[in-house]
Amino acid sequence: MDYDRLLNLTTDLGYQLMASGAEIYRVEESMHRVLKAYGLERPEVFAIPNCIIVSVTTPQGHPITRMRRIPGHGTDIELLERCNDLCRHLCSQVPPLEDAQSLVSALERGYPRYSSHQVLMGYGLAPAFFTLLFGGHFLDGLCAFVCGLAVGICLLYGGRFIGSNSFFRTVVCSTVGSLLSLLLVRLGFGYDVDTVTIGVLMVLVPGVALTNAMREIMAGDLISGLNRTAEAILVATAIALGTVLPLVIGQVYNDGMQTASTWAACVWAFLACVCFGSVFNIQGWGILICGFGAALGWMAYLEALALTGTDIGAAFLAAMVISAFSELMARLRRCPVTGYLQVALLPLVPGAGIYDTMRYCVAGESDLFLSTLLHTIGFAAALSVGAMLAATITRSLLMRLHMSKR
């Protein structure tokens, strides 16, 4: 057995999993299973968001270690599903190392990706539907579409001008989207600058970091979970800073934001998440499942809100519904739950709370600023805990059902 080649193979697979946006526990578990499948008794795998370390001891007692640094990356659900399928294949078939290395090397080649123009259109359409979801007028949706395109251009093509620093890039994109929203509404192309701005900011909110953080904490990876949590806080801070200038210039303070009627809101949530799926490269039926999960979650949120009278409690219950649905769909399709959960939760991520917090800060209303900040944190925590609880219960029930059939 060529242990050097085996470690290189496993490290390459882990690298691709990390680059696709997989959770830490999935990366460690996949690499561990591959090493066990090739006959290693006690392999050690340690991963954090920017590094992978693999160590094994050969039957002769020689330790071998590999370390791979992971650069900044986005989310690619199609690549994640292909990595997951390949891991299953390697563990069940155990092909020769040369063939296995060829399969891993071929992961980045030959799989479907959306073109940059299609992704840009997703950045435009998603804010438009989010704006309609939050009760905006049709003209507000058109304004959000234009602003979303501007944000997408900054993200896709502005790297050479704004750099690769994610915090600064988020500040710039938030500022561009907010300023353009204010300009279009002031010119008479829209009606409600707050609703347009919140719709645009929804494509920047740290839903992915928040979702991964809660799943990693649930899996016991506290270091990675805290890392993701810090990332989500930094992104939220960057969004808030980006809205300061437009708020100071505009000085527009509405009393609140309404949502569309129940059925219309579910349709807008479905369409928004389907369009945003192109940003995460979700292909085929998966993108429709994400949209349906978002619509189901939003319906659950509105019904729970009517019953309980508290949006935090409603968010908790809606997150449970989305998480249970995502877990079930992942089992039926034999693919990771990550993409379904991340995108379906997006309409509930408190982008409006982040915006309103900074709005009250700029207005000098310290009491409202603190109460809105704490409410936003509580809302996000309710989403996290609800999704974690439902995932744990659903997995337990599905496992018992599987065992009973044996």
- Note the pLDDT tens digit of each residue in 200-224: 988 888 766 776 677 677 667 788 7
Packed helices 207-218 and 366-405: angle between N→C axes, nearest 10 degrees: 50
d(CA 46, CA 266): 41
Same domain, 95 and 145: no
Domain total for the chain?
Answer: 2
State both tokens at 110. Answer: 């030959």
> 68, 65, 84: which is closest to 21 by C-alpha?
84
> What distances in angstroms separate CA 203 from CA 14, 31, 200, 333, 368, one per listed residue?
28, 32, 6, 27, 25
d(CA 198, CA 140): 11
Task: Report pLDDT digits (tens) over 334-388.
Answer: 888 877 888 888 888 887 777 777 777 777 788 888 888 888 888 888 888 888 8
Residue 110 forms part of a structural domain:
no
Same domain, 101 and 140: no
> Does residue 226 carry a pLDDT above 80?
yes
Task: Please identify which residue in the block is written with the tokens 């800073």.
Answer: 241
Element (H, E) at 350: none
Read off the pLDDT of each residue in 290-309 and give the average, rounded to a whole number.
90
> Does residue 251 carry a pLDDT above 70?
no
Q: What is the per-residue pLDDT for 143? A: 92
94 contacts: CB under 8 Å, gap ≥ 6: 37, 38
Same domain, 220 and 315: yes
Task: Report pLDDT digits (tens) over 145-192.
Answer: 999 999 999 888 877 677 667 788 888 888 888 889 888 888 888 888
> What distances in angstroms separate CA 119 from CA 23, 113, 114, 155, 296, one per listed residue?
23, 10, 6, 11, 25
Q: What is the per-residue pLDDT for 373? A: 84
Same domain, 87 and 134: no
Residue ranges making up the domain that contains 378: 116-401
Q: What is the per-residue pLDDT for 74? A: 77
Q: What is the per-residue pLDDT for 357? A: 79
Same domain, 181 and 268: yes
**200 phi-psi bin (left φ>0, alpha ψ -120 to 50, beta other):** alpha
State both tokens at 117. Answer: 């123009």
Q: What is the per-residue pLDDT for 232? A: 80
Same domain, 140 and 265: yes
DSSP state, residue 61: S
Element (H, E) at 279: none
* Total residues belonging to the chain: 406
Tell me, yes or no, if the pTM score tops 0.95.
Answer: no
Residue 137 forms part of a structural domain:
yes
Beta bridge partners of 66: 54
Same domain, 91 and 146: no
Average pLDDT, the chain: 84
Strand stretches in 255-363, DSSP E: none
Same domain, 207 and 80: no
